[in-house]
């Protein structure tokens, strides 16, 4: 009987951890939406003079990573398929491996933020400009952070693929 209670207690702890990570990612995404609106309404375009090494400016990214041009009719459905696969993966892993579920969930939250941008504006709104070369937003940071959680957890735990 005591071992059953330990299992239940461990499950509840891991669900709390998952919920905390997802809540944090959603809060970051809300901040991202606010910054995107501010960028569209008031930031100067990135073609104007930028401070170095970091500046806030409006960069309209019409493609994917690094302004790689891919038509929206391809990017939007492909993004939806990836989001669907990651949601299913997170749902399956939620009881077995909470960190894999958390990593996938963080990627999904960031991807949804950029997807909404593409659907509403036809581009992704980037506003953090680094070294006058790289333009990103907080959704991008969530996607990378989630991927790092997924990769890092898999490499550190050989049993995580079970």
Helix 138-156, helix 2-42: angle, nearest 10: 150
Closest CA to 74 of 66, 65, 63: 63
**Token pair in block for residue 147:** 């991927």
Which residues pair with residue 135 across a beta bridge?
A: 129
Q: Which two tokens stand for residue 72?
A: 């929206």
Separation CA 149–CA 103 (nearest Å)? 5
- What is the CA 53 to chain-centroid distance, rounded? 24
Token pair listed for 59? 């960069």
The residues annotated with a catalytic role in the active site are 126, 140
């Amino acid at each position: 009987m005591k071992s059953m209670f330990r299992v239940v207690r461990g499950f509840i702890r891991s669900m709390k951890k998952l919920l905390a990570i997802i809540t944090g990612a959603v809060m970051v995404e809300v901040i991202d939406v606010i910054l995107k609106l501010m960028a569209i309404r008031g930031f100067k375009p990135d073609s104007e003079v930028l401070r170095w090494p970091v500046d806030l400016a409006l960069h309209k990214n019409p493609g994917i990573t690094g302004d790689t041009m891919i038509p929206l009719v391809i990017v939007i459905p492909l993004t939806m398929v990836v989001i669907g696969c990651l949601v299913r993966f997170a749902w399956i892993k939620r009881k077995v491996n909470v960190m894999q579920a958390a990593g996938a969930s963080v990627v999904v939250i960031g991807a949804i933020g950029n997807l909404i941008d593409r659907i509403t504006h036809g581009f992704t709104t980037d506003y953090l400009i680094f070294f006058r070369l790289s333009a990103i937003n907080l959704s991008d940071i969530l996607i990378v952070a989630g991927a790092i959680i997924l990769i890092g957890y898999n490499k550190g735990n050989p049993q995580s693929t079970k």
